[in-house]
Structure 1
Amino acid sequence: MGATGTTGSRTAAQLTAAGHRVKAASRNATPVPGAEPVRFDWYDPATHAAALDGADRVYLIPPLGDSDPAAVMLPFLRQARAAGVHRAVLLSSSAIPEGGPAVGTVHQALPDLFEQWAVLRPSWFMQNFTGTHTHAVSIREDGIISTATGTGRVGFVDAEDIAAVAVHALTDEHAPNADLVLTGPEALSYDDIAAIITEVTGRPVAHHPLSYEQMRDRLTALMPLEFASMLAALDRAIAEGAEDRVTDTVQRLTGRSARSFRALLERQSTTRSDAVVSRP
């Protein structure tokens, strides 16, 4: 649910390319090539039955910016099970363990709801530096990335790799139930990210370190205080080393190496698609 988002759109595209029948659920029933569009809103139960009609497995993307997604997701998941869905794949975060805050509650409930399940817990997206994300806008407009991560490192992961693992978890009939932490091939600090963007694009980009309080206040202008506080706390956890790790999950499940951030930028510079910044 969320077929037009960063991982949802890519998952839908990979599924349809492989010949699978896909219902692409989104709030505006936006067309997705090769998929059947259907209107879906987590907060509008009247849209849920149509999204589930004929479905036997679901890819779940929690409602954005909601600090308590279980309130709307768990009733839907119970309805999904009753409607015949037997496999659920949930997008969570490497920063949120089973039973943790927000989507961690949904993660904890999933095994009791479905016979077949997987929870994808990717590290931070490489695509946060492209498209319309706050970091990407700041890079393009000011040449700055602002975080409260200090020199902490993150195993940034390409959304295409997340989608490839999602497709595996949805379609491999022998895939075991699993809690899957997904990363790219290397752990990078935001200083490293800024340096790579500068080198590949030719435009100077710098990392601007903030305190937890400064980051929280900056985010509060964009979202509810509770969610802004949680995101700022995740930055603080990065500063303390919580995301400084690399896993082999992408390689193990897809049969190919996870893509590097440099490779992502070089590919986008070549295709001019969703570019971070244009060359001067």
Structure 2
Amino acid sequence: MTTAGTTLVIGATGTTGSRTAAQLTAAGHRVKAASRRATPVAGTEPVPFDWYDPATHAAALDGVDGVYLIPPVGDSDPATIMLPFLRQARTAGVHRAVLLSSSAIPEGGPAVGTVHQALPGLFEQWAVLRPSWFMQNFTGEHAHARSIRDEGIIRTATGSGRVGFVDAEDIAAVAVRALTDEQAPNTDLVLTGPEALGYDDIAAIITEVTGRSVVHHRLSYEQMCDHLTTQVPVRFAAMLAGMDRAIAGGAEDRITDAVQRLTGRPPRAFRALLGRETRCSS
């Protein structure tokens, strides 16, 4: 049994936001699709939204009873702007919030971990999605995908560490259930794919499926920091490189049953996703 009402999807043009909005509307739910340019998303009501512009927040929250939260990208301290918004959302009548975090960030940890810690005190119904690294990092506009296309190289400081890479469609499917089931999970959910793979494995699978030679260049933590500072602010680069270092130490070498348990179907494997996207682009 699912709840009725209107859901605000923040970041509705992004990797998981667009998929969550699409799956919600396909299931007959009303969606306000929030993004900085209020880009139309089929079947939704587009609304302008900018985390750093509080003037856009009230209109986005009007008539909403659930919200899917994508933190501001690249902000190492998102709680500063997210917590005032969440308090405003509660006052406006929002009763359920689902937050996108990361498997690498525990409750009370850095960045969005602070928001995670505060969420149960703000809403009676809530969930924190903590997906592992996205499979789409290798096929979309992520730095890895660009370096694969431009150079045939994936650069990380993960060494031989393995990751339970997860399909963004599966993350969205869990988000829809967390937003619309009669009772929210009221917990955090670590989301993974069906297998843990190293970046050497990822490079080998891409090479096999696409026919394009791809290799994994193993960098040190310091080299990765230097590389990332050409793309993101220094503090955020250090945090991302630190996540790579944690992977090298085995922190992400796990798989969970959360996707199967919440959606009733197994998560998609990387090889299957890559084959699907290769066919669609041919």
TM-score scaled by length of structure 2? 0.96
Per-residue displacement from partner, 1:85-125 (whole Å, max 9, x unpaired)?
Answer: 00000000000000000000000000000000000000000
Contact in 1 for aligned 2:126/2:184 (Cα 8 Å): no
**Equivalent residue, structure 1, for 2:4:** none
Per-residue displacement from partner, 1:41-83 (whole Å, max 9, x unpaired)?
Answer: 0000000001100000000000000000000000000000000
CA–CA separation in structure 2 for the residues paired with 1:185 and 1:258: 6
CA–CA separation in structure 1 for the residues paired with 2:140 and 2:270: 15
CA–CA separation in structure 2 for the residues paired with 1:158 and 1:226: 27
Equivalent in 36, 39, 42 of residue 45 of structure 2? 36
Structure 2 unaligned spans of 5+: 1-9
- Local SS of the residue matching 2:232: coil
Sequence identity (%):
82
Per-residue displacement from partner, 1:146-189 (whole Å, max 9, x unpaired)?
Answer: 00000000000000000000000000012331110000000000
In the comparison of the two structures, how many residue pairs are matched? 273
Q: Does 1:20 align with 2:19?
A: no
CA–CA separation in structure 2 for the residues paired with 1:52 and 1:66: 22
**Equivalent residue, structure 1, for 2:101:** 92
Q: Does 1:249 align with 2:258?
A: yes
**Equivalent residue, structure 1, for 2:272:** 263
Equivalent in 181, 192, 199 of residue 172 of structure 1? 181
CA RMSD of aligned residues (A): 0.7
CA–CA separation in structure 2 for the residues paired with 1:2 and 1:269: 26
**Equivalent residue, structure 1, for 2:209:** 200
Q: How far 1:270 sits from its partner (Å)? A: 1.5
CA–CA separation in structure 2 for the residues paired with 1:78 and 1:249: 29
Letter in 2 for 1:119: V
**Equivalent residue, structure 2, for 1:47:** 56
Q: Does 1:229 align with 2:238?
A: yes
CA–CA separation in structure 2 for the residues paired with 1:4 and 1:118: 21
CA–CA separation in structure 1 for the residues paired with 2:42 and 2:160: 41
Letter in 2 for 1:221: T
**Equivalent residue, structure 1, for 2:83:** 74
Q: Does 1:103 align with 2:122?
A: no
- Local SS of the residue matching 1:3: coil
Contact in 1 for aligned 2:125/2:183 (Cα 8 Å): no
Could you list the runs of 4 or more consecutive aligned residues of structure 1 that deviate by over 2 angstroms after TM superposition? none
